[in-house]
Amino acid sequence: MGREWLSHFHPDERGFADKAEEWIERAALAHTVKVTDFLDPRQAEIVQSLANRYGGQAALRFDGGYPEAERKRAILTPDYRDPENEDPGIAVLAVSSGDDRLSGLDHGDYMGALLGLGVKREKVGDFQVRPDGCHVLVASEIADFLNLQLRQVSRVHVLTELLPLDRLIAVPAVLEEMTLSVASMRLDGIVSDVCRLSRAKAQQPIQAGRCRVNWKPEEDPSTPLKAGDTVSLQGFGRFRILSAELTKKERYRVRVGRFV
């Protein structure tokens, strides 16, 4: 394919899209099998859209270790091979401790501990955090390393164990709900209210490229949001628009769920 298709993607996405197109081409034309690193939903969308351009020459499936996974590995095969038969290469790293402080750890603490070992974010899937520990979906190729090396999360000494996928304990996402009354559904206005920032300060990280809407980079503060959209702002966390309705006073009543 020509390279003009890259212009359809945000500049920050073009490097990934170019790499993804190479994976698909190799599966379709060179008859190779590719298991990618963990992809976020936007990256998975890009892979799916590019695979569709090959008219079925490459088969594709996504697997994050459990049905509701957010981050998933893509398995690409030639069309005559069933990707359902390919191993996605996912293990469960179980983290526990006898220290009572374990119950106070959150997603960021576990993430920081893994990245502190030099692990790339792409090798790690979803985190299932509970008061008594955490199950982390990880790429099989780094599972043994993590099992040997992870001995501390924040200031808590931990124990680890590798488990098969059927022993994963999935924890539903917890959302802290709030209701807003806003004049419009502009991104900067919603971010301002959710993150308790002035409109000017809400615009700064958006324009600086630190905001994603549905995992896609978004630098325009005036972008309108809608129910179902997920917004992440570096340094301020992530939230989802649960519902939005226009009132008789021509304002929007917006129900927001902030990930905790």
Task: Give the CATH number of domain 90-167.
Answer: 3.30.70.330
pLDDT above 80 for 70: yes
User: Could you read off the pLDDT of 93-150 as tens digits, one per residue?
Assistant: 999 999 999 999 999 999 999 999 999 999 999 999 999 999 999 999 999 999 999 9
Tell me if 242 sits within 8 A of 252, measured CB to CB: no
Domain ranges of the chain: 4-85, 90-167, 175-259
Per the listing, tokens 């000494």 go with 157
Burial tier of 256 (Cβ tally within 10 Å: 0-12, 13-18, 19+): buried
Q: Which residues contact 96 (CB under 8 A, 6 or more apart)?
A: 102, 132, 133, 158, 159, 160, 161
pLDDT at 3: 63
Instruction: Find the helix packing angle between 41-52 and 11-29, rounded to 10°.
Output: 50
Tokens of residue 126, six digits: 């979803």
Buried/exposed 84-119: b ≥16 CB within 10 Å, e otherwise: eebebbbbbbbbebeeeebeebebebbbebbeeeeb
pLDDT band at 187 (very low <50, low <70, confident <90, very high): very high
Per residue in 21-38, pLDDT tens?
999 999 999 999 999 999
Tracing tokens 């226009």 back to the chain, one arrives at: 246
Instruction: Name the pTM for this structure.
Output: 0.86
Q: Residue 4 pLDDT more than 70?
A: no
What is the architecture, at CATH level 2, of domain 4-85?
2-Layer Sandwich (3.30)
Rounded Cα gap, residues 185 and 205, in angstroms: 18
Measure Cα distances from 14 to 11, 212, 214, 220 in Å: 5, 15, 17, 19
Judge: domain 175-259, CATH 3.40.50.1820.
no
Binned at pLDDT 50, 70 and 90, residue 173 comes out as confident
Q: Is 57 exposed, middle or buried (0-12, 13-18, 19+ CB in 10 A)?
A: middle
Q: Is 117 helix (H, G, I), strand (E, B) or coil?
A: coil
- 127 CB-near residues (< 8 Å, 6+ apart): 107, 110, 111, 134, 135, 136, 137
pLDDT of residue 210: 94
pLDDT of residue 2: 54
